Amino acid sequence: MSRVLVLNGVNLGRLGARQPDVYGVVTFAELAELCRRTGAQLGLEVEVRQTDDEPELIGWLHAAADARTPVVLNPAAWSHYSYALRDACALLTAPLVEVHISNIHAREEFRRHSVISAVATGVVAGLGVDGYVLALRHLAQRLSSPA
């Protein structure tokens, strides 16, 4: 069974309570369970984490790079300005799928660009928590296909 990390950045632990008109009513606990359940159905061992501490997230990415672990990442607000996070993502040797619950391209001007996207294998934005499901399906397909 292939291992996949689903990493979530700042404020995502507040899902369900934070701007439900933008981010929906699914709580972080429900999102984590959705990811684990989806992973199990796809033959993936999924570990879901969230932090409001940027250095902690960077440390997780370094460990994923060292272990060649695929990552689904919602960098949240750090998407738009964290070059340190972007550089940590660039170290990854396994696939990285960037996920955004909202459509960042239809939001405020400062949210419309992600510094992470250029080093991601793919990007899913604006599909709510279904974006995580799609990212996991993509990774399962990639991991099961011959190189």
Strands (E), the chain: 2-8, 44-50, 71-74, 96-100, 122-125
Q: Is 23 labeled as catalytic in the residue annotation?
A: yes
Out of 81, 100, 113, 138, pick the active-site residue.
Answer: 100
Residue 147 has pLDDT above 70, yes or no: no
Please name the fold of domain 2-144: Rossmann fold (3.40.50)
What string of DSSP letters covers 44-77?
A: EEEEEEE-S-HHHHHHHHHHHHHHT--EEEE-GG
Please calculate the CA angle 15-72-14 and round it to the nearest 5 degrees. 10
111: annotated binding-site residue? Answer: yes
List the domain boundaries for the chain.
2-144
- pLDDT at residue 22, as a whole number: 80
Q: CB of 86 within 8 A of CB of 58? A: no
Provide the 8-state DSSP code for 126.
S
Average pLDDT value for residue range 138-147: 89
Q: Summarize pLDDT for 88-109 with one digit per residue, the tens.
A: 999 999 999 999 999 888 777 8
